[in-house]
Amino acid sequence: MELIQKYFNDFTPEQTQQLASLKDLYTEWNEKINVISRKDIDNFYLHHVLHSLTIATKFDLKPGMEILDLGCGGGFPGVPLAIFFPDVQFHLVDSINKKLKVVNEIAAAANINNITTQHSRVEDIKNRQFDTVVSRAVAPLGDLWHWSRKLIRRTSKAEKAVPNGLICLKGGDLTQEIFESNCKPHVWEINKIFEEPYFDEKFMLYQPLK
């Protein structure tokens, strides 16, 4: 938690407690259903929580917005973002149901009330739209954008919201991937946001809905 408080210092007591509880909850559940590698558990707040909160440094998600976490896995970036933005609704989707069981149990135990989950492939989500889609290291940018754009509403229901679009966290050399995607995303180097060596060659991409 000290690492999180190094970069964020305006949490309420409830948010602080929720964030502090995550490590023990994930450690306990990970012994039953493996969703995080041992190395990542040992560096839980750096590899998962702080990485997820990169999005909060550039995007002020507004109350009433609806966010889809595409391929959420064990709940990242959706769970930390749901704590950070308690008045925003987060819908976490994954094709592996046991991972969603972990998300649901941790959300309940940590009293995170703005999370819903859906066991589905993103291609099968019908008749629903969101203000923004977030994702972490799930698929190439071109695929993410192909799946996401039909699920993004053109205008947000929230006042003064950022333009609707896709926000994703990725690593490595993205030059070819971006070229092949036919997207023109905004790109941030995460190691210029958080001065931790872990974030070298890690990026945040934002593709607004045109």
Which residue ranges are tagged as binding site for S-adenosyl-L-methionine?
Answer: 71, 76, 122-123, 136
In order, the DSSP letters of 61-111 are PPTT-EEEEET-TTTTTHHHHHHH-TTSEEEEEES-HHHHHHHHHHHHHTT
Report the binding-site residues: 71, 76, 122-123, 136
155 phi-psi bin (left φ>0, alpha ψ -120 to 50, beta other): beta
* 78: CB partners within 8 A, 6+ apart: 52, 67, 69, 72, 90, 92, 103, 115, 134
Which neighbouring-strand residues pair with 181?
A: none
H or E element at residue 42: helix 38-42
